[in-house]
A and B are shown apart, each in its own frame.
Chain A
Amino acid sequence: MTARNALFVLIPALIAAPSFAQSQSGVSEFTLDNGMQILVRPDHRAPVVVTQVWYRVGSSYEGRGETGLSHLFEHMMFKGTEQVPEGRFSEIISGEGGRENAFTGRDFSAYFEILAADRLPIALELEADRMANLQINDEALSTERQVVLEERRLRTDDRAEGRFAERYAAIAHPGTGYAHPIIGWADDIRGFAVSDLQSWYQQWYTPSNATLVVAGDVDPETVYDLAKTWFGDLPSRPTPAVHDPENLDPPGERRLIYRDEQTRVAQLRMGYSVPSFATTEAALDPYALLMLASVLDGGEGARLAEEMVRGSEVAAAAGAGYNPMTRLDSEFSLFGVPSDGDVEAVEAELRAQIKRLQTERISDEALERARSQLLADHLFELDSVFYQAMQLGMLETTGAGWETLDAFAQNIRALSAEDLQAAAKRYLRPEQLSVGVMLPEDQEDGS
């Protein structure tokens, strides 16, 4: 890994459906007296340990004028303490043959080390030190602010897809903490002072707001003892109450038409606001949405590829996805790239696909295929120790709880074709829909 501070990008749901273990997850949970949570997931295949410290704070916690503060702060977490001055953290991990990095999402800020298994105490000592003793000064802030502005240019300002994604989020999540970019608006990034970062640290970086996840060639009791040694004496402070108003429900159908002077190929995104694991009222509904996404786009043989890319050939690419690991309501997402510029035709076919989910019973064969794929994918995810730890951290920080893992296979198996049809009718409604179109500057929008 060459780049520290990766942004956890907004659209993983479109690229890969998130996944969970098929069988017993084998997780051990502990809580220290100061409220810090510890999750351990042994995997003895290789003598490696992944350590991740997750904080329940991310861009969706930021108010007006504060956008990008979580992410900029994450960069500052590498700026040193009295005991471990700037640069020393990375040097130590590197010298131990390890890798370290961090990432910020809408609902979390997370820091990790990957090391040979016997070097776990090094990671814990360093993480505990910067949880409590971070030093933030003007000079470090002004350098890092430049780095983050360069990061913003690289990811967003100089990329047509980035410019489109930022505009799309603003209409897809109106009035919520998901409407602004994780990296923040450039004006806000330019405006932060040392005091803003210090108060962010004071508010959110406290043991009771953190989850330590350790996965790999370790024994749970040993991890607990080590965690107690390094984190046990850190005092906790109360965190601010988080208020996420339910302000526009339903928001009504919205449409963005964005012309970009550099894009050469039209693109379409559509998204329905739907519940997540954390916000659902009916426990099985998120699983039904995962199955619906798989029926549409579980692979090259599924409906979108079969009927839109190969059948009518209206789309050069089409996809669907749903990420249930969000703290606030999530999105059931569709996208399409017209094969000859006809965005309207792609939108009409995607809408027809949604209608079909609502009006036609899914065949037993298609249901079984979607189920097989979701269950197999979840098993395949066990191959990555890092992702096993990621799952636990995301489930915890989004409020679903790590135990969600253990129920996954059972819940997927419990769903019938009728359940999927009912979920499609309940959630995939026009008043929950946003449509975003990016067009080359000289193309007519036709609508």
Chain B
Amino acid sequence: MKRWLITAMLIINSGAGGAMEAEIEQWETANGSKVLFVARHELPIVDVRIAFAAGSARDGSQAGLARLTNQLVLDGTSARDAGEIARHFERYGARVSTNSGRDTAEVSLRALSEPERLDPVIDNLANALANANFPADAVARVRQQMRLGLEQAQSSPSALAEQAFAEGIYADHPYATPPGGSLESVPQLTREAVVTFHRRHYTASNATIAIVGDLETSAAKTIAEQLSGGLPVGEALAPLPEVKQPTSAQTIRVPFQAEQTHVLIGQPSVRRGDPAYYALYMGNHMLGGGGLSSLLAERMREERGLSYSSSSQVTTGARRGRFQMGTQVRNDALGEALEVLRTSLGELQTQGPSSERLEASRRNITGSFPLQLDSNRDLLGYVSSIGFYDLPHDYLQQFVDRIEALDDSSVQNALRDHLELNRMTTVLVGPEAIINAVE
């Protein structure tokens, strides 16, 4: 039996504001699940998240399969139906939820920590996960719910823009697959496909278990063994292919009758763990990731009144994430808005940030770290990602240190090396005559 324990202190200095500490303990269960645990005794609650590498990047040709499987995983065993499983959680005041994206499919639990309430809830969750048998009526029902969701998304310009953008920047990579599937793919998903996907991906060796809350380590170990113990050990998954950067720019136009046009501009970014991420993160913070004091908000909103929301983001994943600028503008101002977005990025690339802006961003990023860990729920999210992506336990402190070390030219270089307007996809969702009139 392989067991190991790593302990590291997570200490976030908040400038003059003191420090918060959280000790991450890590080990592996008997059948190979990675476990990360942080004890927090202030509130009598426990949060658990099991993350499987079972997101839409594993859908293959069946878009929506990972999401359908995830939504069904607590919907029945041979002994109990979805309602019985749910009522058992509810009797003890526990909350469970499922969630899936491109990399991961998760099951999360929040429960009271007193053993009389926690133990039956963990039993229930372990049993439901180990014995999920995907009743045919449940498969049909959830598939229909997904189909209706996709129907309704046709009337949402932001949903249309997001789908076109992912397809545009990821082309034939699995990240292009919409996690919710498509109107064409979802009706084709079968129970057999779900069962096969589940057997392959919901395995112990493919699971990362994060636990945060009012527990001793020994109790957390018991919980992790219980949750992991019913899962097959499983086999390692093939790595995802690399994301290729597009070789040219493109504009994707999606006609939609509305008073505003939705705009997204961007390209693949870097993968989790790429050393260039920190400089890109900071450059993006100045451009449009830093709220109302960032460049895009200033120019689009405060100076011109062009939009309510203008921002940019840079994300990472197991493979390249994305960089995107986004806004919504009244139709007659679309040309001006595109000009402002592209020029603002171009300026940061060619001239670099002013030293005032760089310092302001640095102060905000490093100073706001403790804010992001002020609840058990936030902590659970961080610990789960650290485990899933194999990041060092002191990742957050390293992050702060790296931001501290950046200067204006390193930020400018990262923006110039990793972002190129002539590789970017522009998505425009708006009235046909409006979106056809601009580049």
**Complex interface residues of chain B between 67 and 113 (CB less than 8 A to chain A):** 81-95, 110-112
14 A-B Cβ contacts within 8 A? A97-B371, A99-B371, A115-B17, A115-B371, A150-B330, A154-B260, A301-B83, A368-B91, A372-B91, A379-B43, A380-B95, A380-B110, A382-B43, A383-B45
**Complex interface residues of chain B between 281 and 337 (CB less than 8 A to chain A):** 289-293, 297-298, 301-309, 311, 328-330
- Stretch of B141-149, B228-236, B242-250, B416-424 with 4 or more beta carbons under 8 angstroms from chain A: B141-149
| Cα distance A263–B87 in the bound complex, in angstroms | 34
Task: Answer whether A376 and B93 are a contact pair too, CB < 8 Å, given A48-B370, A339-B148.
Answer: yes
- Tell whether B354 is near chain A: CB-to-CB under 8 Å: no
Asked if A116 and B86 make an inter-chain contact with CB atoms under 8 angstroms apart, the answer reads no
- Tell whether A240 is near chain B: CB-to-CB under 8 Å: no
- Stretch of B264-272, B343-351, B359-367 with 4 or more beta carbons under 8 angstroms from chain A: B359-367
Asked if A158 and B18 make an inter-chain contact with CB atoms under 8 angstroms apart, the answer reads no
- Tell whether B258 is near chain A: CB-to-CB under 8 Å: yes
Asked if A97 and B366 make an inter-chain contact with CB atoms under 8 angstroms apart, the answer reads yes
Asked if A94 and B290 make an inter-chain contact with CB atoms under 8 angstroms apart, the answer reads yes
- Tell whether A170 is near chain B: CB-to-CB under 8 Å: no
Asked if A372 and B90 make an inter-chain contact with CB atoms under 8 angstroms apart, the answer reads yes
* Chain A residues engaging chain B, CB cutoff 8 angstroms: 1-4, 44-48, 78, 86-87, 90-91, 94-99, 114-119, 142-151, 153-154, 157-160, 216-217, 260, 262-265, 298-302, 305-306, 309-310, 313, 316-317, 337, 339, 365, 368-369, 372-373, 375-377, 379-380, 382-385
- Stretch of B55-63, B152-160, B173-181 with 4 or more beta carbons under 8 angstroms from chain A: B152-160
With A142-B305, A299-B95 known, 12 other A-B pairs at CB within 8 A are A1-B291, A87-B302, A94-B290, A94-B363, A116-B17, A144-B305, A151-B308, A154-B309, A154-B328, A376-B92, A382-B43, A383-B375
| Cα distance A191–B100 in the bound complex, in angstroms | 46
Contact of A263 among B88, B155, B328 (CB under 8 A): B155
Contact of A153 among B45, B301, B330 (CB under 8 A): B330
| Cα distance A147–B327 in the bound complex, in angstroms | 12
Task: Answer whether A97 and B155 are a contact pair too, CB < 8 Å, given A114-B371, A153-B260, A154-B260.
Answer: no
Which residues does chain B contribute within 8 Å of A310, judged by CB atoms?
A: 81-83, 138, 141
Asked if A47 and B145 make an inter-chain contact with CB atoms under 8 angstroms apart, the answer reads no
Asked if A46 and B157 make an inter-chain contact with CB atoms under 8 angstroms apart, the answer reads no
Asked if A145 and B144 make an inter-chain contact with CB atoms under 8 angstroms apart, the answer reads no
Which residues does chain B contribute within 8 Å of A384, judged by CB atoms?
A: 375, 377
Which residues does chain B contribute within 8 Å of A87, judged by CB atoms?
A: 293, 298, 302
Contact of B18 among A47, A264, A313, A339 (CB under 8 A): A47
Which residues does chain A contribute within 8 Å of B192, judged by CB atoms?
A: none
Which residues does chain A contribute within 8 Å of B328, judged by CB atoms?
A: 150, 153-154
| Cα distance A116–B364 in the bound complex, in angstroms | 11
Asked if A91 and B293 make an inter-chain contact with CB atoms under 8 angstroms apart, the answer reads yes
| Cα distance A96–B95 in the bound complex, in angstroms | 36
- Tell whether B376 is near chain A: CB-to-CB under 8 Å: yes
Closest to B301 in A: A147
Chain B 364-384 interface mask (CB, 8 Å, partner A; 1/0): 111111110111110000000
Asked if A159 and B156 make an inter-chain contact with CB atoms under 8 angstroms apart, the answer reads yes
Asked if A116 and B16 make an inter-chain contact with CB atoms under 8 angstroms apart, the answer reads yes
Pairs of residues from A and B, 10 with the lowest C-beta to C-beta distance, nearest first:
A97-B367, A376-B93, A116-B17, A146-B305, A301-B86, A301-B87, A151-B308, A300-B86, A46-B374, A143-B305
- Tell whether B439 is near chain A: CB-to-CB under 8 Å: no
* Chain B residues engaging chain A, CB cutoff 8 angstroms: 14-20, 40, 42-45, 81-95, 110-112, 138, 141, 144-145, 148, 151-152, 154-157, 257-260, 289-293, 297-298, 301-309, 311, 328-330, 360, 363-371, 373-377
| Cα distance A95–B15 in the bound complex, in angstroms | 12
Asked if A150 and B18 make an inter-chain contact with CB atoms under 8 angstroms apart, the answer reads no
| Cα distance A376–B88 in the bound complex, in angstroms | 14
Asked if B93 and A3 make an inter-chain contact with CB atoms under 8 angstroms apart, the answer reads no
| Cα distance A118–B17 in the bound complex, in angstroms | 5
Which residues does chain B contribute within 8 Å of A380, judged by CB atoms?
A: 45, 95, 110
Contact of B306 among A150, A154, A339 (CB under 8 A): A150
Centre residue among A45, A151, A317, A385 by max chain B CB count within 10 A: A45
Asked if A2 and B311 make an inter-chain contact with CB atoms under 8 angstroms apart, the answer reads yes
Which residues does chain B contribute within 8 Å of A382, judged by CB atoms?
A: 43
Centre residue among B19, B40, B87 by max chain A CB count within 10 A: B87
Smallest Cβ distance from B32 to chain A, in angstroms?
30
Which residues does chain A contribute within 8 Å of B302, judged by CB atoms?
A: 86-87, 143
Smallest Cβ distance from A111 to chain B, in angstroms?
14
Asked if B15 and A116 make an inter-chain contact with CB atoms under 8 angstroms apart, the answer reads yes
Asked if A46 and B360 make an inter-chain contact with CB atoms under 8 angstroms apart, the answer reads no
Task: Answer whether A47 and B20 are a contact pair too, CB < 8 Å, given A2-B311, A372-B92.
Answer: yes
Asked if A99 and B144 make an inter-chain contact with CB atoms under 8 angstroms apart, the answer reads no
Task: Answer whether A3 and B308 are a contact pair too, CB < 8 Å, given A90-B291, A380-B45.
Answer: yes
Asked if A117 and B17 make an inter-chain contact with CB atoms under 8 angstroms apart, the answer reads yes
| Cα distance A21–B304 in the bound complex, in angstroms | 44
Which residues does chain A contribute within 8 Å of B45, judged by CB atoms?
A: 379-380, 383
Task: Answer whether A97 and B363 are a contact pair too, CB < 8 Å, given A3-B308, A158-B157, A372-B90.
Answer: yes
Asked if A305 and B83 make an inter-chain contact with CB atoms under 8 angstroms apart, the answer reads yes
| Cα distance A146–B366 in the bound complex, in angstroms | 34
| Cα distance A380–B111 in the bound complex, in angstroms | 8
Asked if B371 and A98 make an inter-chain contact with CB atoms under 8 angstroms apart, the answer reads yes
Asked if A90 and B292 make an inter-chain contact with CB atoms under 8 angstroms apart, the answer reads yes
